[in-house]
Amino acid sequence: DDAKVYGYGGLLLHDGKQMIRKEFNAYFDATPDLNYSIKNKMVMDNKVHHEALMTANNKTIMTTYFYTVVNGKISSLTFYVEP
């Protein structure tokens, strides 16, 4: 399975399912206070957009995610974190 994670501006952060899993697992392990709440979600064809509040390391931030789904799986994810 091929998947990619991009940061704001199209910067490729992670390429490939195994790398994504490794990076996300490391983040989850290092962030025991992680709390994630989806506030808004829109779906159009194979595109998904959602906005969420995320608390991590005693900070709460607004995040925005854009997913592309192919054959029922996320093929790309682009995210933006509010400053």
Residue 83, pLDDT above cutoff 70: yes
Alpha-carbon torsion (57, 60, 62, 65), positive or negative: positive
Close Cβ partners of 78 (under 8 Å, ≥ 6 residues apart) = 5, 6, 7, 8, 10, 65, 66
pLDDT digits (tens, 9 = 90+) for 15-71: 999 999 999 999 999 998 999 999 999 999 999 999 999 999 889 999 999 999 999
Residue 1, pLDDT above cutoff 70: no
Question: Hey, what are 32's tokens?
Answer: 């025991």
pTM: 0.78
